[in-house]
Each structure stands twice: as structure tokens, then as C-alpha cells.
Amino acid sequence: MKGSHRRWGFLQQYTQEERIGLVRRMKRRLPGHVPLVLARASQCRVGTHQELRVSAPGHLRLSQLHCALKARVQVPPRHSLIYFIGDHLAPLTCTLAHLYHHHAHQDHFLYITFCQENAQG
């Protein structure tokens, strides 16, 4: 799966200036948090949300965000979620601040695509 080839509705819905303004307001209200846009891959069959805009503490690891997201999008027990940032598989052990520092978009959001994976052999 190529995460960067996804059409981000959020990018089309708001201008870059509006998105940068949103990031500034999010960071002012919640310092130390990372502004994220989480999106379901086109092949993904779990969840009802196409895209979620959230702000999460920078010290969280992607694995901790994974637990919260898995409950929110109601992933069946036999499936797991995998995450992509651009064309790369995102490591669950990295903090969101680290991922943000290295992969933030020019509008200062971190765009993460998720897809389900069959967890049973």
C-alpha cells in the first residue's frame, strides 16, 4: 500500500493558510501536543470515519495511540491496524513527537494512514 498516494480530503477542504491557522490554535490550546490527521486507507474496511483530526500528547508512542484508535474505529478482534506515513510503515515504538519532527507536512500536520491487517495466521 502506498500511503502518500491517498487523496487527503482535509488538504482539499482547507487552504494551507487555514490549516496552518488550525495548527497554531491547537498548539496554543494544548502545548506539547502533536496535530494529527488520521485517515483510513482506501482498501481498509474497518471504521466509519474517513479522516480524523486529533491532537495527541507528543510523548505518546504510536502503539499507545493504536490502542485508542482501535477502540474508536471498532476494529474486530481478529484484525490489527498498521500505520503508514507517506510510503513508509510507521514504527509503533516511536513517539508522536519524533514522528512529527521527521515527517510533518508543510502545513505542520502529521498525516498518518491506517489499514487493517489480518492478525490470525
Q: Where are the domains of the chain?
A: 3-118
Identity of the residue numbered 11? L
CA separation for the pair 71, 110 (Å, rounded): 21
CA separation for the pair 64, 117 (Å, rounded): 18
CB count in 10 Å sphere of residue 40: 21
Report the predicted TM-score, pTM, of the whole model to 2 decimal places. Answer: 0.85
CA separation for the pair 65, 96 (Å, rounded): 9
As a CATH number, domain 3-118 is 3.10.20.90
> How many angstroms separate the Cα of 36 from the Cα of each of 7, 19, 42, 66, 110?
16, 11, 19, 13, 5
* Segment 42-75, tens digit of pLDDT: 777 776 667 888 899 999 999 999 888 887 877 7
Q: Which of 3-7, 8-12, 95-99 has the lowest mean pLDDT?
A: 3-7
